Structures are given as structure tokens and as C-alpha cells.
Amino acid sequence: MQTITYAVEGMTCAHCASAVTGEVGQISGISDVRVDVGRGTVTVISENVPADGVIRAAVEEAGYELTGTVAGTV
């Protein structure tokens, strides 16, 4: 399994976390999604981490902005 954490701007509440979790969780191959609103991050766990563009599109579909990866999480 691989784990990568992304920085996300605009999340402020449980609804935000739910929206991001729902969109990112629909991506094929992802086994777990963990959102931390306080830190502004989404962590993705999967066999093969999808391309950043796929994650970015899902986060944007939820209404937020993916701003990059968090160092040391790949």
C-alpha cells in the first residue's frame, strides 16, 4: 500500500470533509481516504496512488483546491 497526503485549501467543517472524502473515494483503486480539516489535508491510501491530476480533479469537483503534496508522505 502507498500513502500520500495532499494539502487542500478551503475546507472548514465536517461537511467539507465529507464532500472531499466522497469525491476522492470514488477514484478506482483507492482503499481509504482520510481528511483532516484542521490541518487542511487529505490522505489517500491505495495500491497504486493515482496521478496528482486525478486527485486534483476530484478535490475540485468537491469545491476545494488541491495545493500540492505534503512532504515526506509518498
d(CA 58, CA 46): 15
Q: Give domain limits for the chain.
A: 2-69
Average pLDDT over residues 33-50: 93
Rg of the chain (C-alpha set)? 11
The model's pTM is: 0.90
CATH (one of 3.30.70.100, 3.40.50.850, 3.40.718.10, 3.40.720.10) for 2-69: 3.30.70.100
Q: What pLDDT, in 10s, does the model give residues 23-37?
A: 999 999 999 999 999
The number of residues making up the chain comes to 74
Question: What is the SS3 string spanning 32-56?
Answer: EEEEECCCCEEEEEECCCCCHHHHH
